[in-house]
Amino acid sequence: MNQVSATLSSAVALGTPLVLAAMGGLVNKRGGIVNIGLEGKMLTGAFVAVLVAWKVGDPWLATLCAGWAGAAVAVPFTLVITRLNANEIIVGLGFNVLVAGLIGYLLPVAFGVYGSLNPSNLPGLPELTIPLLDRVPVLKALSGQTILTYLALASVPATAWFLSSTTAGIRLRAAGENLAAARSAGIDPLGWRDTSTVIAGLFAGLAGAQLSIGIVNLFTVGMTAGRGYIALAAFYFGAARPWPTAAAAFLFALVDAIQVRLPGNDLPPQVGDMLPYVAVLAALITVAIARKRRERLLGAL
Amino acid sequence: MEAGTAVQQPLPRLTAGSAAAVARILLPFLSALALGAVVLWLSGRDALHVYWLLAQHSLGDRTSLANTLAQTTPVLLTGLATAFAFRAGVFNIGVEGSLYLGAFAAAWLGFTFVHLAGPLLIAAALAFAGLAGALFALAPAVLKTRLDVDEVVTTLMFNFIAIGLTSYLVNGPYLATGTANSMSPLVANQGSLPILAAPSQLTIGILIALGTTILYWLVFARTTAGYELRTVGQTRRFAAASGISTARSIMIAFLGSGFIGGIAGGIQILGVNHRFIDHFSPGYGFTGIAVALLGRNTALGCLLAALFFGALANGGATVQLFTNIPLELINVLQGTVMIFAVVELGRARRGA
C-alpha cells in the first residue's frame, strides 16, 4: 500500500468513532439536549469493549456490550437533566470527570494496573475485506475496515431518514424544539429527550469500541483524547444536519491521519489538533454574521 | 439557551423556612461523599476510615494544612474567575484556557527579563498573566456581545485552542534547550514566589488568592459595577430597562473572569512549576467550575469549596501513597459535586 491509500485508510478508521459519536450527538441536539458527555460515554464503551473481549473472548459481543454500556450510562445522565432540571453543560462536564475517575479508580483496584489495560491475545474486531471494492483506487480505503465503519457509514442516511421521515423522528424533533408545543400536541417531550440521549449514548459507546478493539487492541484512560468534543465540533459545524456533520467528522479525521502518516510534512501537530475547534468557531462566526446582515436588511425595509 | 439563569443561584438567606435552601447547598457535597463511599465500599474499603485518613492527611498538622492551602490556591482563583462570570449570567467555561495563556505569559516574562529585580519581575509576570487571560476572554466576549454567539460552545472550543497554542509554543519556538520535551526555559530564580511555610509548597500565592477573594466580595457587595453585573445576571430585561448597559456588563464579566483565570495560571508557574510545561493543568479550570457551583458564586462559598477541593487534592495524594487508594477517587467526588450542584429539586420544570 502506498502512502496515500494508507493515509486514507487510516482516516476512515479514525473517522469512524467521530462519525458515530457525532451522529449520536446530532440526534441528541435535535432532541433538545447539547451533549457534552459524549466523551465519557465513549470512554465507557471503550472500557467495556476491552473488558468483554478479554473476559469472554468475543469481539462482536464486546461491541454490542459497549453500545449498551454507553446507552446505560446515558440513562441517569439524561434523567438528571430532564427530570431534575440540571444544566446540561455542567452535567456533561461533570459526567466526563466522573467517568474518567471511576474507570481510573477501577483499573488499579480490580486489575492492578494504572491508566491502561492491555491483556495479551485480546481479540479485536476483524477487518472485513470487501471483494472488488478493495481493488478500486481511493475507494479501497473503505475495504479492510471493521464492522463499525460500515455501521457509521450506514448511520448517516439512516439518521437523515429517521429524523425527516419517521413519526418517531418528527416527535423527537418536536420535543427538541418546543416543550410546551410538543406537550399540547400529545407528545411526551421529556420522554423523547431521554430517548435521544440514550441513542447518543449507544452511538458513543460503539464509537468507544472502535477506539479500543477496532483501531488498537488495548484500553487507556486517555484514549478518547477529546474525541467527544471533536464530535461536538462536527455536529455544530454541520448545523446538526447528518451529511454535513459526517463530512466535517471525516475531514477532521483526515487531517489527523495526514499528520500521523505523512512524513516530512511541516505542519506542527498542535496546529492540526486545533483545526476542529478553529473550524467550528469559524462556522459559528459565519452563521452569526449572516444572521446579523439579514436582520439589518430586514430592519432597513 | 438562557444559560445565565441556570448557573445563577445566589446563596439563599438562611431563615427558619429555608430548610430546602440548606438542602440545596448540602446536596452536592453529601451526594459526592455518598457516591465515593459506595465506590470505596464496593472495592472492599472502609469508607469512613478513608475519609478520616483524608481529613488527617489534609488538615492534621501544620505541614499538611500548608500543603492543603497550596492546593487550594489555584482552584480558589479559577473558582472566583468562573463565579465572576456566572454571577453576571455569563456562562464562561473557558477559564482553563485563560489559565494556560496566563501561565505561558508569566513563564515567558520570567525567562525573558531575567535581570529584573524579584518583586518587579513577579508583579510584571502576574500582571502580564492576567492580561493574557483577559485578552483570551475578549474573543468570546466580542462574539457574544456583537454577534450574539452563545458563549458555552465558543469558550469550550477556545479552551482547546489555548491548550494547543501553548503546546505549540513550548514544543516549537520556546522549547528549552537540553531538556526533555515540552518545557520552556526556567523562570529566573528571583521570579519564584516566596515560600510561606517550608517544608510545604505554600507560597504567597495563597495571600494573593485570599486578597482576590476579598476584592471579589467588595466588588459585588459595595460597588455599582458589581450591582450592575448581578442585575444583568438576574434578569437582562430588567437591567436594560433600568438603564444598565448589558453589553458592557457582559464584557466586564468576561474580562474580569479571564484576568483572574490568567493570574491563577501565573501563580501556578511562579509558585510551583517555575517554567511552562505542556498540559500542566490537571483541570484547574474545570475544578473552578465545581468550586463556583458549590460556593453558589459567593466569595465565602468559593473559599470554602476551594478548601474542600484543596484538601481532597492534597489528602488524596498522600492517601494514595500510603494506602494504595487511587487518587482518581477525587475525580469521582468532583464530578458528582458538579452534577448535583446544578440539580434543582422541587422547582417547576423550565419551558424551552
Closest CA to B233 of B91, B96, B332, B38: B91
Beta strands A219-220 and A116-117, pairing class: antiparallel
Please give chain B's pLDDT, 352 residues, in tens.
Answer: 344 444 555 544 444 456 777 777 788 889 999 999 999 999 888 999 999 999 999 998 899 999 999 999 999 999 999 999 999 999 999 999 999 999 999 999 999 999 999 899 999 999 999 999 999 999 999 999 999 898 998 999 999 999 999 999 998 888 887 766 788 999 999 999 999 988 888 999 999 999 999 999 999 999 998 999 998 888 877 888 888 888 999 999 999 999 999 999 999 999 999 999 999 999 999 999 999 998 999 999 999 999 999 999 999 888 888 788 888 998 999 899 889 988 876 544 443 3
Q: What are phi and psi of B104, to 5 degrees?
A: -65, -40
Predicted confidence at residue B7, as pLDDT, reads: 55
Question: Residue A65 pLDDT > 90, yes or no?
Answer: yes
**Residue range A82-87: average pLDDT?**
92
**Residue range A57-79: average pLDDT?**
97
Predicted confidence at residue B16, as pLDDT, reads: 44
For residue B322, which amino acid is it? F
Q: How far is A147 from chain B (nearest CA, A)?
A: 31
Predicted confidence at residue B5, as pLDDT, reads: 44
3-state secondary structure of B61: coil
From chain A residues 109-128, the ones with a CB under 8 A of any chain B CB are 109-110, 114
Predicted confidence at residue B1, as pLDDT, reads: 39
Predicted confidence at residue A266, as pLDDT, reads: 65
Predicted confidence at residue B308, as pLDDT, reads: 92
Question: Residue A171 pLDDT > 90, yes or no?
Answer: yes
For residue B89, which amino acid is it? G
Set of chain B residues whose Cβ sits within 8 Å of the Cβ of A44: none
Predicted confidence at residue A231, as pLDDT, reads: 95
DSSP string, B173-232: TTPPTTS-SSBPPPPPGGGSPPBSSTTS--BTHHHHHHHHHHHHHHHHHH-HHHHHHHHH
Question: Closest residue of A to B349, CA-based?
Answer: A85
**Residue range A195-222: average pLDDT?**
96
Set of chain B residues whose Cβ sits within 8 Å of the Cβ of A32: 352
3-state secondary structure of A131: coil
Q: How far is A185 from chain B (nearest CA, A)?
A: 15
**Secondary element (H or E) of residue B235:** none
Measured on CA atoms in the order A259, A265, A270, A273, is the torsion positive or negative?
negative
The distance from CA A49 to its chain's CA centroid, rounded to whole angstroms, is 16
Closest CA to B206 of B58, B71, B59: B71
- Put simply, whether A250 touches B (Cβ < 8 Å) is no
Which of B157, B165, B172 is closest, CB to CB, to A281?
Answer: B157
Each residue of B146-161: pLDDT tens digit? Answer: 998 989 989 999 999 9
What span, in angstroms and rounded, lies between the C-alpha atoms of B132 and B111?
16
Q: Tell me the pTM.
A: 0.90
Q: How many CB pairs under 8 A join A and B?
A: 155
Half-sphere exposure of A86 (CA within 13 A, CB side): 28
Set of chain B residues whose Cβ sits within 8 Å of the Cβ of A101: 328-335
- Cβ separation A178–B6 shorter than 8 A: no
| pLDDT above 70: percentage of residues in chain A | 97
Query: B157, B182, B296, B297: which to substitute to probe chain A, counting the most A Cβ within 10 Å?
Result: B157
Which of A96, A114, A292 is closest, CB to CB, to B147?
Answer: A292
Each residue of A5-48: pLDDT tens digit? Answer: 888 999 999 999 999 999 999 999 999 999 999 999 999 999 99
Set of chain B residues whose Cβ sits within 8 Å of the Cβ of A259: none
The answer to which of A90-94, A150-154, B7-11, B137-141 has the lowest mean pLDDT is B7-11
Longest Cα separation, chain B: 65
Virtual torsion, Cα A105, B309, B160, B192, nearest 10 deg: -120
**Residue range A246-254: average pLDDT?**
93
What span, in angstroms and rounded, lies between the C-alpha atoms of B146 and B149?
8
Q: How far is B23 from chain A (nearest CA, A)?
A: 14
**Secondary element (H or E) of residue A31:** none
**Which ipTM did the prediction report?**
0.89
What span, in angstroms and rounded, lies between the C-alpha atoms of A128 and B243?
66
Predicted confidence at residue B349, as pLDDT, reads: 43
Predicted confidence at residue A262, as pLDDT, reads: 62
For chain B, percent helix, then strand, then coil, each to nearest 5?
Answer: 70, 0, 25
Check: CB of residue A85 under 8 Å from CB of residue B278.
no
What span, in angstroms and rounded, lies between the C-alpha atoms of B294 and A102?
21
Which of A178, A229, A285 is closest, CB to CB, to B149?
Answer: A285
Predicted confidence at residue B267, as pLDDT, reads: 98
Q: What are phi and psi of A109, to 5 degrees?
A: -70, -45
- Cβ separation B39–A105 shorter than 8 A: yes
- Cβ separation A105–B329 shorter than 8 A: yes
Q: How far is B197 from chain A (nearest CA, A)?
A: 32
Predicted confidence at residue B343, as pLDDT, reads: 87
Q: Can you tell me which residue has the cell 501513597?
A: B321
From chain A residues 121-160, the ones with a CB under 8 A of any chain B CB are none
Check: CB of residue B283 under 8 Å from CB of residue A104.
no
- Put simply, whether A239 touches B (Cβ < 8 Å) is no
- Put simply, whether A278 touches B (Cβ < 8 Å) is yes
Predicted confidence at residue A55, as pLDDT, reads: 94
Which of B149, B293, B328 is closest, CB to CB, to A90?
Answer: B293
* Inter-CA distances, B194 with B31, B191, B208, B211, Å: 38, 9, 12, 16
- Cβ separation B331–A180 shorter than 8 A: no
